[in-house]
């Protein structure tokens, strides 16, 4: 019996059957191929617009094959934490990483909540160490963490005693339904006390934030005097430490602000993660690490056990480099007006990738193996490669800190983690050294080890680099879901995020860590590599869609046509209808509404032609060495009260002078002009054979998608598109129309 139990796996993978979806997906592919072949044999193919349309449609077909391939064999993992506890004598240490970078865009109270939810994880506290990287070098963030650590001394025991599910106080106290399940007098009293204390904590932080009480930069805070965000020495502070077992019940809490100097490139989040890796290597050196963004709170306090089921499974688990939990968003605006809650992507694409070589690394909510981050291959985990842990080789790879080399030798040499007797505060000096700007010079950090540099979507190449070595990855989706975070709450912040992703991913696509290179020269399996195209192609997709949209406008303005007549037109129309039905079904199947579907459809058109397009252009500038790309941080608007989550204002489109809106407005104006020209018959007389119903329908659909912009043209204040944007767009649109009319394309 005991033996049998020992054989049970810690996790299982179940492949889902989605036959109907496969059928409809394949049918769409069939129609696409039919459309292409119809074009090939039509007499029109040799006009320039038709040629462009053919190229774009070939690309759409390729993209569809990529999507189909990604979705084809979805899988879920089922974890058994109860078995884990029977199997292992002792749970391993886990290091927890949180990154924050800007106390204004990422208010410290958000970081505090994330940290509190981590400190209160249902896991032996002695085994946890939480590291907060502050790229903002903000005394305010540090202050908030110190205050939070005091609160944690009561909060953590309270959560554990009453088995609270959501251990981020802001969220816990704002959700009325969470507080009713226990009615005992004792609970009510403690609950009230905690609520009061949390209120005081947030009040204190708020006051300092708004400078009604200025922060004295003395004592503990003296190190922050004379610092600037981009010019300061390393600051490392141990906030909570279990020294001499004085109080138990809380994990370590360590504040890290790496050195910044104006003439050094800091590599944004990837740089911060590598510093955390080294600092934690010195201070706790856990074999596993969890990394979250500052706004991702723990929603399932047992998540570490779930993830370890996968990483510690004695069979399949050994090949797993990282465990990715979905990103899900709390307080999401109803029906996802800005299409940024990513539900469809996770449900279909990422689950689909989970059935192949594993999901991509999404930058947050991820459990890593330390030795994988240190560059090991799967086969090196069990059989230590000779010479790999020789000191001079390690120094060349990991840099010259003696203490760090010692700890890295443990990791690389496979002798596991060092014992519990490490005291973080003994390592402040060594940690300061490894957090300095110069430390990485000439080492492998960011090139072959750790988080990779070079793209502002550092997560994807970092994950690809692991899979290239033959590692797999897994999703972990326990119930309740593992983490919840903030999705951008506005149009502009959504666009900034999308632009960053598109630009970073385009750089990855053309770089040396591209999926193609991984397939050709590494161990990325064919279908897994192809599914990575879904992600890394965002920028390219924009280029093709913008081209297609322009060709359609051209046809209407110059009175010519790209859509075939007769049968060909019917193929195009059925494709359009069936594609939309298919997307609608995908939404309805997982419980999303029709409004949600439409919002996603139109946002897909809008973001591809604007944010992704600009991202693509900026990636081109970067790749050609003209200018560098910048990581613009997404604003985290916190709704502690949870109240305005669904009010009417939340989902409305607000505009400003940003270039993304110039692109969008130009596209809209061009199509409006094309419509007018077509309807009033103002096409030039020398023009072609007449534009048809195909162009008309496409253009109408586009204008429908762009309806929020159309409203914006007439809106007032922040709901209106600024006059300067309208003027600039009008000039661009006029130039375009003029060019089309002069027929210089043909």
Ligand X SMILES: O=c1ccn([C@@H]2O[C@H](COP(=O)(O)OP(=O)(O)O[C@H]3O[C@H](CO)[C@@H](O)[C@H](O)[C@H]3O)[C@@H](O)[C@H]2O)c(=O)[nH]1
Strand pairing partners for 485?
Answer: 329
CB of 646 to Mn ion, least distance (A): 21
Q: Is residue 122 among the annotated active site residues?
A: no
CB atoms under 10 Å from CB of 715, counted, come to 17
Contact status, residue 700 vs residue 669, Cβ threshold 8 Å: no
Residue with smaller CB distance to Mn ion, 293 or 458: 293
Which does residue 351 bind out of Mn ion, ligand X, none, counting CB within 5 to 8 angstroms by kind? none
Q: Of 411, 517, 408, give the one whose Cα is nearest residue 461.
A: 517
From ligand X, Mn ion, none, which one binds at residue 269 (CB under 5 to 8 Å depending on kind)?
ligand X
196 is annotated as contributing to ligand binding: no
Residue closest to 448 by CA, chosen among 462, 458, 431, 428: 462
Q: How far is the CB of 435 from ligand X (least distance, A)?
A: 13
What's the closest the beta carbon of residue 189 comes to ligand X, in angstroms?
36
Total number of residues that touch Mn ion (CB under 5 A): 1
Helices (H), 162-223: 169-174, 185-209
Structure token digits, residue 327: 């990103």
Is 295 one of the annotated active-site residues of the chain? Answer: no
Strand partners for 297: 484
Longest dimension (CA), the chain: 90
Could you say which of 135, 313, 335, 336 is catalytic?
A: 135
Query: Burial level of 745, CB count in 10 A (0-12/13-18/19+)?
Result: middle
135 is in an annotated binding site: yes
Binding mask 352-391 for Mn ion (x = CB under 5 A): ----------------------------------------
CB 615 within 8 A of CB 539: yes
- Nearer to Mn ion by Cβ, of 293 and 335: the residue is 293
Q: Which is nearer to ligand X, 468 or 499 (CB)?
A: 499
Question: From the CB of residue 444, how many other CB atoms can be counted at a distance below 10 Å?
Answer: 15
Choose between 484 and 725: whose C-beta lies nearer to ligand X: 484
363 binds, among ligand X, Mn ion, none (CB under 5 to 8 A by kind): ligand X
| Minimal distance, residue 640 CB to Mn ion, in Å | 17
If you ran DSSP here, which 8-state letter would residue 445 be given? B
Beta strands, E only, 144-271: 235-240, 252-257
Q: Can you tell me the distance from the alpha carbon of 33 to that of 742, in angstroms, rounded to the nearest whole number?
A: 34
The Cα 253–Cα 423 span in angstroms is 12
Q: Which residue's Cβ has the minimum distance to ligand X?
A: 363
Whole-number minimum distance, CB 231 to Mn ion, in Å? 26
Contact between 71 and 348 under an 8 Å Cβ cutoff? The reply is yes
The Cα 395–Cα 405 span in angstroms is 7
Min. distance of Cβ 116 from ligand X in angstroms? 16
Q: How far is the CB of 363 from Mn ion (least distance, A)?
A: 8
| From 134, 331, 335, 459, active-site residue | 459
Nearer to ligand X, 11 or 501 (CB): 501
Dist. CA 181–CA 179, nearest whole Å: 6
What is d(CA 618, CA 613) in angstroms, rounded to the nearest whole number? 9
In the numeric block, the tokens 């059957």 are attached to: 17
Among ligand X, Mn ion, none, partner that 331 touches (CB below 5 to 8 angstroms by kind): none
What is the number of alpha carbons within 13 Å of residue 81 lying toward its C-beta?
16
- Minimum distance, C-beta of residue 633 to ligand X, in the bound complex (Å): 4
501 binds, among Mn ion, ligand X, none (CB under 5 to 8 A by kind): ligand X
- Closest CB to Mn ion among residues 259, 336: 336
- Residue number with CB closer to ligand X (229 or 580): 229
Task: Identify which of 212, 215, 173 has the alpha carbon closest to the alpha carbon of residue 194.
Answer: 173
Give the SS3 label for residue 717.
helix
Please choose which of Mn ion, ligand X, none residue 50 contacts, taking the beta carbon within 5 to 8 angstroms, the exact cut-off set by kind: none
The tokens of 66 are what? 């990529």
- Tokens for 481, please give them: 């879901």
Binding interface with ligand X (CB under 6 A): 99-101, 106, 133, 135, 268-269, 272, 293-294, 363-364, 456-459, 497, 500-501, 504, 631, 633-634
Q: Which is nearer to Mn ion, 74 or 488 (CB)?
A: 488
Among Mn ion, ligand X, none, the one that 272 touches (CB under a kind-dependent 5 to 8 A) is: ligand X
Burial-class residue 247 by CB neighbours within 10 Å (0-12, 13-18, 19+).
Answer: exposed
When CB distances are held under 5 to 8 angstroms depending on the partner's kind, the choice from ligand X, Mn ion, none that residue 737 binds is none
Residues 281-300 that bind Mn ion (CB under 5 A): 293
Residues annotated in the binding site for UDP-alpha-D-glucose, as ranges? Answer: 106, 135
Residues annotated in the binding site, as ranges? Answer: 106, 135, 269, 293
Active-site positions read: 135, 459
Residues annotated in the binding site for Mn(2+), as ranges? Answer: 269, 293
Binding region for Mn ion (CB under 5 A): 293
């Amino acid at each position: 019996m005991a033996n049998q139990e020992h054989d049970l796996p810690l996790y299982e993978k179940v492949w889902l059957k989605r036959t109907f979806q496969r059928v409809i997906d394949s049918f769409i592919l069939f129609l696409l191929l039919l459309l292409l072949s119809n074009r090939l044999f039509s007499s029109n193919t040799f006009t320039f617009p038709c040629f462009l349309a053919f190229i774009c449609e070939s690309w759409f077909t390729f993209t569809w094959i990529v999507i189909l391939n990604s979705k084809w064999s979805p899988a879920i993992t089922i974890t058994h934490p109860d078995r884990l506890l029977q199997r292992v004598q002792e749970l391993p240490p886990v290091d927890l990483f949180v990154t924050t970078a800007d106390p204004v865009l990422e208010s410290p109270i958000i970081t505090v909540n994330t940290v509190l939810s981590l400190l209160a994880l249902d896991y032996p506290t002695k085994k946890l160490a939480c590291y907060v990287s502050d790229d903002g070098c903000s005394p305010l963030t540090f202050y908030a963490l110190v205050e939070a650590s005091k609160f944690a001394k009561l909060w953590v025991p309270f959560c554990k005693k009453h088995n609270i599910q959501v251990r981020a106080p802001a969220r816990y106290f704002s959700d009325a339904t969470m507080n009713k399940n226990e009615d005992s007098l004792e609970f009510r009293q403690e609950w009230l006390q905690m609520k009061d204390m949390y209120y005081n904590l947030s009040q204190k932080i708020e006051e300092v934030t708004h400078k009604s009480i200025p922060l004295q930069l003395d004592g503990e805070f003296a190190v922050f005097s004379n610092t600037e965000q981009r010019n300061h020495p390393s600051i490392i502070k141990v906030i909570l430490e279990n020294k001499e077992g004085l109080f138990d019940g809380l994990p370590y809490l360590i504040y890290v602000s790496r050195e910044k100097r104006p003439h050094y490139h800091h590599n944004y989040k990837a740089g911060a993660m590598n510093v955390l890796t080294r600092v934690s290597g010195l201070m706790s050196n856990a074999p596993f690490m969890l990394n979250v963004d500052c706004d991702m709170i723990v929603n399932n306090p047992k998540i570490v056990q779930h993830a370890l089921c996968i990483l510690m499974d004695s069979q399949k688990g050994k090949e797993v480099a990282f465990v990715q939990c979905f990103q899900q968003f709390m307080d999401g605006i109803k029906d996802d007006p800005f299409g940024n809650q990513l539900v469809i992507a996770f449900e279909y694409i990422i689950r689909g990738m989970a059935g192949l070589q594993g999901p991509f690394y999404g930058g947050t909510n991820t459990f890593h193996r330390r030795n994988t981050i240190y560059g090991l291959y799967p086969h090196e985990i069990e059989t230590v490669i000779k010479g790999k842990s020789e000191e001079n080789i390690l120094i060349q790879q990991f840099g010259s800190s003696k203490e760090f080399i010692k700890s890295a030798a443990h990791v690389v040499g496979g002798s596991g983690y060092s014992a519990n007797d490490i005291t973080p505060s003994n390592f402040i000096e060594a940690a300061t050294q490894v957090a300095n700007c110069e430390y990485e010079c000439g080492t492998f950090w960011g090139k072959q080890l750790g988080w990779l540099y070079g793209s502002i979507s550092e997560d994807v190449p970092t994950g690809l680099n692991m899979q290239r070595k033959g590692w797999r990855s897994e999703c972990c989706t326990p119930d309740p879901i593992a983490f919840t975070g903030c999705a951008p709450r506005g149009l502009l912040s959504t666009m900034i995020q999308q632009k960053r992703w598109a630009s970073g991913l385009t750089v990855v696509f053309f770089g040396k860590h591209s999926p193609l290179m991984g397939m050709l020269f590494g161990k990325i399996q064919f279908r897994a590599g192809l599914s990575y195209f879904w992600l890394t192609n965002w920028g390219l997709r924009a280029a093709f869609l913008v081209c297609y949209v322009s060709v359609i406008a051209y046809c209407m303005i110059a009175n010519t046509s790209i859509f075939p007549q007769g049968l060909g037109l019917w193929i195009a129309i059925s494709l359009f209808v069936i594609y939309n039905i298919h997307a609608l079904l995908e939404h309805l199947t997982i419980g999303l509404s029709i409004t949600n579907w439409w919002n996603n459809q139109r946002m897909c058109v809008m973001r591809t032609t604007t944010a992704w397009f600009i991202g693509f252009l900026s990636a081109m500038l970067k790749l050609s060495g003209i200018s560098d790309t910048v990581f613009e941080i997404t604003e985290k608007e916190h709704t502690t009260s949870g109240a305005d989550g669904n009010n009417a204002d939340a989902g409305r489109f607000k505009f400003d002078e940003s270039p993304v809106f110039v692109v969008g407005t130009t596209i809209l104006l061009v199509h409006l002009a094309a419509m007018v020209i077509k309807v009033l018959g103002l096409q030039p007389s020398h023009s072609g054979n007449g534009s048809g119903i195909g162009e008309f329908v496409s253009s109408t659909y586009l204008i429908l998608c762009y309806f929020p912009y159309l409203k914006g043209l007439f809106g007032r204040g922040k709901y209106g598109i600024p006059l300067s944007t309208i003027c600039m767009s009008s000039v661009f649109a006029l130039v375009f129309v003029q060019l089309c009319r002069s027929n210089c394309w043909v």
